[in-house]
Amino acid sequence: MHKKQGKQTIVFEKSPCIIGSYSVVGPKEGKGNFAKYFNEIIDNDLYGCNSYEKAERKFLIRAINMAIASAKLENEEIDALICGDLMNQIISSSFAARHLQIPFLGVFGACSTMVESLILGACMIEGGFCEHIACATGSHFSSAEKQFRYPLELGTQRPPTSQWTVTGAGCSVIASKGSDIAITKATIGKVTDWNVSDVNNMGGVMAPAAMETLKAFFEDTHTKPSDYDLIITGDLGKLGSEVLMDLMEYNGFNLRTNYNDCGQMIFNNKQKVFQGGSGCGCIATVLNSYIIERFKKGTLNNCIAVATGALLSTLSSQQGDSIPAVAHLVLLERRKNDF
Amino acid sequence: MIFDPMMYLKVFLVGGLICLIGQILIITTKMTSARILVTFLLSGVFLHVIGVFEPLKEFAGSGVTIPIMGFGYSLAKGAIEGWYDYGLIGLLTGGLTATSAGIAAAVVSAFVFSLLFSSKTKK
Amino acid sequence: MDIKERDDRYNAYLTSKMPKTKAFPSLFHAFWIGGLICCLGELIKDLLLLAFPDMSLNVASTFESVIIIVLASFLTGVGIYDRIGAYAGAGSIIPISGFSNSITSPALEFKREGLIFGLCAKMFIIAGPVIVTGVVASFVAGIIYIFI
C-alpha cells in the first residue's frame, strides 16, 4: 500500500511520462482559441467518410497513429491501447483498435475517459507490465447529437446552458522514461450524484464530482490549489466552472487564480456554443496540444488535470433518473531528476 | 373575399401570438419540440370540443389553421363528423381521413427529400 | 447536512445560477416568424382560389397545408429549416411546417442506418407522439361531443 497516499490518491514513484502526443480536431474547433496549438485541423468533419460515426473513428485512428509516430515508435512497439468514447458500446474505440491491431483495453468514463485511460496506463507502466501505452479518446459533435439529442436538421433552439460536443481526438503515448512530462499522482473519483436531472446542464451535473475529486486530492496530498501552476477541468463549461469555484470555496479551497476549464477555453465567444465545449475530445485535444506545448516551452511546471464525465444514457434520463457523474484527476509534473 | 389586407393582418397577429405563447412555454418549462407539438395539437382538439375553434377560424383563417392546433381541430372535427355520417366506424376513420392529406404529404416528402439530401453538420 | 438537504440546496443554487435567457428578443422572433408562416399559408390559399375559382375552400385549405408541408420538408433537406428554427424557436415549431420538419429531420439523420430500419422506422421518433395523441384525443373528443 506504500504507493497510495491518503484515501484515494495514487503516487507514481517511477513517474511514467508522456513521450508522444497528438491532437486532431474538426473545422469548428480549428477556428477556436487553440487553433495554433492543435497538431492538425480537418476541414470537413465527415473526414472523407460516409457517416459521422465512421469519421469519429478515423479521427481517433489518426490521433493514435500520429501520437505513436511523434514518440518515434512503431505501432508494434505499443504494448496496449487504452481507449474509450461516447458511442454506445464504445464502437469508435474498438473499431479503431480493429484497424490498428494494438492490444486493446476499452474503457468507458464518458468525458472523463482521457484521464481514466492515463491513470490506468500509468499504473501498468509503473507496475512494469508494459513498456509503451497509448491512451486515447475522441468525440464527434454530429454523432453525439444523434445519439443523445435530436436530429441535426430539427429546427430547435439550444438552451442557454447547453454545450457543444468537440469534434476531435487526442492521444498520449506514455512510457517509463524518455520525457520530462511525468504523471506523478492520480486520484480516482467516486461516482457522485447530487440529484440533478437536467440533461442540458452538464456543467451543473459534473461540478460536484470535480469538487469531490479535487477535495480528495488536496486532502490526501496535504496541498492547496495555489501550490500548482495550473488546474484544468475537462468540460464543465462556463457555468459549471463557476459552480466548481463556488463549491471549492465553500469547502475552503480557492480556485479563482489558477483554474480554467477546457470546455470554456476551446471555443471563442463568437462561436455560439453557449457554455463552451464538451465531450471526450474536449480535454483530450486540449491536454495533448496546449498543455503539452506549454510544458515543452517551459511555461508550465505542473498541472492538475481533472476530467469529468456524466454517466447517463438516453434511457436512464427518459426513465427520470438523476445523472451520476465521475471525475478523475492526474497530476502532471516536470520531472527534474534522471533526465 | 380573397387578398383582404385586414385578413392578413389578423392572420399575422393571431398566428404570431400562438407562436409567442409557445415560445413562452419553451422558455419557462424547457419543453422539447415534441411536447410543444403535442400540447398545441391537444389544445386544438380541446378548443374545437368547447366550440371555440370554428369562430376563431372564421376570424383569423390560416392564423389558427396553420399552427398545429389546426391539425388537432381537423382530427376532432373529422371524428365527430364521421360519427354523424357513418356511426362508430366513422368515429374511428373520420379523424385520420380528414388529416390524411397532410400526413401523407409529410411522409412522402420526408421520404423523397431524405433520399435526395443528407443531414449536415451545424456550424 | 444530510444528503437530501444537500441535493435540494444544490439544485436551488443551480437554478439561481442559470444564465438568464434574453426572453424578449426570442419572443419577438417567434412572433414574427410564426405570423409570417401563417400569412404565407393564407397567401397560398388565396392564390389557389384566384387560379382555380371553382375550388372549394376546404380543398384550398388542404392544398395550403400540403404545400407548406412539402416546402418545409424541402427546406429541411437543404439544411435551411434548422437555421430558421434556431432563430425563431416556437415560431417555426408550432406551424404545420414544424411538424413536417420533425418528420423529415429524423428521416435524413437515420438514412445511413438503411432504408427500412433507418429512414422509414425512425421517421416518427418526434412526430409519432403527435399523431398518436392526436388520434386518441380526437376519438375521445368525438365520444365526449356525442354524449354530452
A241 part of a folded domain: yes
C118-121 long-range CB contacts below 8 Å, 24 or more apart?
Answer: C119/B111, C119/B114, C119/B115, C120/B111
Model ipTM value: 0.93
Q: Which pLDDT value is given to residue A130? A: 95
Higher pLDDT, B28 or C136: C136
User: Does residue C115 carry a pLDDT above 90?
Assistant: yes
pLDDT band at C23, cuts 50/70/90? confident
C118 CA to centre of own chain: 21
Residue B122: predicted pLDDT: 78
- Which pLDDT band, with edges at 50, 70 and 90, does A17 fall under? very high
Of C19, C21, C106, the CB nearest to A151: C106
Q: Is the pLDDT of residue A285 over 90?
A: yes
> Which of A152, A161, A195 has the CB atom closest to C18's CB atom?
A161
Question: What's the mean per-residue pLDDT of chain B?
Answer: 93
CB contact under 8 A, B33 and A152: no
Mind listing the pLDDT tens digit for each residue in A227-266?
Answer: 999 999 999 999 999 999 999 999 999 999 999 999 999 9
Do residues A116 and A166 share a domain?
Answer: yes
Number of separate domains in chain B: 1
Tell me how many domains chain A contains: 2
Q: What is the 3-state secondary structure (H, E, C) of A311-329?
A: CCCHHHHHCCCCCCEEEEE
pLDDT, one tens digit per residue, over B77-111 is 999 999 999 999 999 999 999 999 999 999 999 99
A334 contacts A295 by C-beta, under 8 angstroms: yes
Q: Report yes or no: A282 and A291 within 8 Å, Cβ to Cβ.
A: no
Does one domain contain both A136 and A193?
Answer: no
Cα–Cα distance for residue pair B26/A301, rounded to 1 Å: 47
Task: Give the rounded percent of residues in chain A with a pLDDT score beyond 70.
Answer: 98
DSSP annotation string for A40-56: EE-SSTTTT-SSHHHHH
For the stretch B94-109, what's the b/e string if a residue is b when 16 or more beta carbons lie within 10 angstroms of its beta carbon?
bbbbbbebbbebbbeb
Contact list, C85 vs chain A (CB under 8 Å): 154-157
Same domain, A274 and A252: yes
**Digit-coded pLDDT (tens) for C62-92:** 999 999 999 999 999 999 999 999 999 999 9
Same domain, A87 and A156: yes
Tens digits of residue pLDDT in A189-238:
999 999 999 999 999 999 999 999 999 999 999 999 999 999 999 999 99
pLDDT for C146? 81
Using a CB–CB cutoff of 8 Å, tell me whether C105 touches chain B: yes
A129's grid cell: 507490465
The alpha carbon torsion through B12, B15, B18, B24 (nearest 10 deg) reads: -50
Q: Is residue B123 part of a domain?
A: no
CB-CB neighbours of A298 under 10 Å: 9
Domain presence at residue A118: yes
pLDDT score, position A338:
53
Q: Which domain holds residue A18?
A: 4-175
Contact indicator for A326, A209 with CB cutoff of 8 Å: yes
pTM for the model stands at 0.93
* pLDDT given at position C36: 96
Contact of C134 with chain B, judged by CB distance below 8 Å, is answered with: yes
The reported pLDDT for the residue numbered A339 is 47
A339 falls within a domain: no
* Residue B90 lies in domain: 5-116
| Separation CA A159–CA A194 (nearest Å) | 21
pLDDT tens for A162-179 read 999 999 999 999 999 999
Q: Percent of chain A at pLDDT above 90?
A: 91
